[in-house]
């Protein structure tokens, strides 16, 4: 694989990870916490209405997980393509 192709393949994979993670980012906050709130509020999680829980708790937990997941995926990708500084 030439340098340029390698570069392109790496970037494509990065964009793929970004799209998936940002989809989840959008789904938990704007989706579950805002647009679907009224629907989800019919269900409950312990003492929380579900939509309310997503808006004030759940989305934040997912955000933290997303960033660490991205870090893990990218570190793995960097290693695969040898883009690592010593």
Partner 1 sequence: MSVQLWTWILVGISFALYFGIAIWARAGSTKEFYVAGGGVSPLANGMATAADWMSAASFISMAGIISFAGYDGSVYLMGWTGGYVLLALLLAPYLRKFGKFTVPDFIGDRYYSNTARTVAVICALIVSFTYVAGQMRGVGIVFSQFLQVEITTGVIIGMAVVLVFAFLGGMKGITYTQVAQYCVLIFAFMVPAIFISIQMTGSIIPQIGMGGRVEDGTYLLEKLDNLHTQLGFKEYTEGSKSTWDVFAITLALMAGTAGLPHVIVRFFTVPNVKDARKSAGYALLLIAILYTTAPAVSVFARTNLIETVSNQEYSTMPEWFKNWENMGLIAWSDKNEDGKIQYVNGEATTGKPEFTEERGANGERIIVNASTETNELYVDRDIMVLANPEIAQLPAWVIALVAAGGLAAALSTAAGLLLVISTSVSHDLIKKQLKPDISDKGELLAARLSILVAVIVAGLFGIYPPGFVAAVVALAFGLAAASFFPAIVLGIFDKRMNKQGAISGMVVGIILMLFYMIRFKTGLIGVLEPLPESKWWFGTSPEGFGTVAMFINVIISVIISRLTPAPPKSVLKIVESIRIPSGAGEAQSH
Q: From the list 1, 5, 42, 47, which residue makes contact with partner 1 (rule: CB under 8 A)?
A: 47
Rounded to the nearest whole angstrom, what is the least distance from the CB of residue 21 to partner 1 in the complex?
6
Selection from 36, 32, 39 nearest residue 63 by Cα: 32
SS3 annotation, 10-71: HHHHHHHHHHHHHHHHHHHHHHHHHHCHHHHCCCEECCEEHHHHHHHHHHHHHHHHHHHHHH
Residue 76 CB neighbour total at 10 angstroms: 10
Q: From the list 16, 39, 43, 67, which residue makes contact with partner 1 (rule: CB under 8 A)?
A: 67
Rounded to the nearest whole angstrom, what is the least distance from the CB of residue 62 to partner 1 in the complex?
9
Query: Which are the contacts of 49, defined by CB distance < 8 A and separation ≥ 6?
Result: 40, 41, 43
Q: From the list 9, 13, 27, 52, which residue makes contact with partner 1 (rule: CB under 8 A)?
A: 52
Rounded to the nearest whole angstrom, what is the least distance from the CB of residue 55 to partner 1 in the complex?
4
Binding residues for partner 1, rule: CB under 8 A, are: 3-4, 7, 10-11, 14, 18, 21-22, 25, 29-30, 33-35, 37, 41, 45-49, 52-53, 55-57, 59-61, 63-64, 66-68, 70-71, 74-75, 78, 82-85
């Amino acid at each position: 694989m030439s340098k340029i192709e390698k570069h392109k393949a790496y970037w494509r994979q990065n964009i793929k990870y970004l799209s998936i993670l940002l989809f989840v980012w959008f789904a938990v906050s704007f989706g579950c916490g805002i647009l679907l709130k009224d629907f989800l509020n019919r269900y409950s999680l312990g003492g929380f209405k579900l939509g309310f829980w997503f808006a004030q708790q759940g989305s934040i937990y997912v955000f933290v997980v997303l960033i660490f997941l991205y870090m893990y995926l990218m570190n793995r990708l960097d290693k695969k393509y040898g883009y690592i500084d010593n």
